[in-house]
């Protein structure tokens, strides 16, 4: 695994877009960009970060995240930036761990992502993010 990977963002699930926007207002956050991830059936709203890392608000529209924390939402994941998801995946597999998705997922921004199950981390879901060149649509697969 990459040593000391930088924090890319923190993901918080909210039941509705209105709840996400209200929490952003409460926290004094401004929207940077948003996108929809079909695989997770979720609207993802990324905030601007003057310093540090942004917060991503994830609003499920059905799909696997709709019942997260019994539908109440909450802190879902921390995302770490890695240079190569395939290399990370091979390293984790060598240690007996698997990423959740068989294929890396195109995220709501210019990145690919995949998740390490909380089974391996004592309850914390870790998303690994590999940045793509701006405007890249699909995952480069080996």
Q: Could you tell me the CATH number of the domain that includes residue 51?
A: 3.10.180.10
One DSSP character per residue, 17-57 reads HHHHHHHHHHHT--EEEEEEEGGGTEEEEEEP-SSS--EEE
Q: Where in the sequence is the domain holding 43, given as residue range(s)?
A: 7-131
Compute the distance between CA of residue 102 and CA of residue 131 in angstroms, rounded to an integer.
Answer: 19
pTM of the full structure: 0.87
Q: Is residue 39 part of a domain?
A: yes
Per-residue pLDDT tens over the stretch 19-32: 999 999 999 999 99
Per-residue pLDDT tens over the stretch 56-109: 999 999 888 999 999 899 999 999 999 999 999 999 999 999 999 999 999 999
Among candidates 85, 93, 90, 96, which has minimal Cα distance to 127? 85
In this structure, what DSSP letter does residue 109 have? S
User: Which residues 6+ apart lie within 8 Å of 94 measured at CB?
Assistant: none
Compute the distance between CA of residue 52 and CA of residue 140 in angstroms, rounded to an integer.
Answer: 28
Q: Is residue 138 part of a domain?
A: no
Compute the distance between CA of residue 25 and CA of residue 45 in angstroms, rounded to an integer.
Answer: 13
Q: Is residue 91 part of a domain?
A: yes
Compute the distance between CA of residue 124 and CA of residue 115 in angstroms, rounded to an integer.
Answer: 10
């Amino acid at each position: 695994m990459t040593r000391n990977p930088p924090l890319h963002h923190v993901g918080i699930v909210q039941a509705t877009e209105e709840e996400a926007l209200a929490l952003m207002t409460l926290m004094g956050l401004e929207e940077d960009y948003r996108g929809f991830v079909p695989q997770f059936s979720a609207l993802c709203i990324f905030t601007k970060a003057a310093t540090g890392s942004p917060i991503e608000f994830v609003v499920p529209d059905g799909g696997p995240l709709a019942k997260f924390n019994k539908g109440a939402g909450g802190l879902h994941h921390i995302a770490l930036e890695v240079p190569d998801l395939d290399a990370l995946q091979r390293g984790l597999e060598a240690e007996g761990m698997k990423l959740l998705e068989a294929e890396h997922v195109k995220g709501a921004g210019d990145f690919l992502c995949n998740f390490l199950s909380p089974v391996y981390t004592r309850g914390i879901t870790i998303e690994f993010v590999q940045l793509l060149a701006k405007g890249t649509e699909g995952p480069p697969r080996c």
